[in-house]
Amino acid sequence: MIYMAEIANIYRISGYYIKVKTKIPFIFECRAYKVENALEKVFSEVGSRHRVKRDRIFIERDKGIKTINAEDARNPEFLDMNADDFVIYR
């Protein structure tokens, strides 16, 4: 069986959602191959956790989407990504 290994990026996405006329800010970190996949993950997770529809979730314009290193990630899930044997198989 042959696997194709790709390097996934870590994205830090910041924005806010509106619930009952209140802006609630969030910062979400996820691992994805493309920006579109990362945005889909944000809409899915924030909408599911906080019961917010997609049209109420807003991503900041200037600094909303950043590609970060594993060392800069706040999520402990990404700490082992710098290991030599870390590979994501698709």
64's CB contacts (< 8 A; 6+ apart) are 13, 14, 15
Name the pLDDT band for 6 (thresholds 50, 70, 90).
Answer: low
Closest CA to 66 of 15, 26, 11: 11
pLDDT at 58: 96
List, for residues 12-68, the tens digit of each pLDDT value.
Answer: 999 999 999 999 999 999 989 899 999 999 999 999 999 999 999 999 988 899 999
Using CB atoms within 10 A of its CB, is residue 87 exposed (0-12), middle (13-18) or buried (19+)?
exposed
pLDDT at 74: 86
Alpha carbons 71 and 62: distance in angstroms, whole number: 22
SS3 of residue 35 by DSSP:
helix
Q: What is the pTM of this model?
A: 0.77
Beta bridge partners of 66: 12
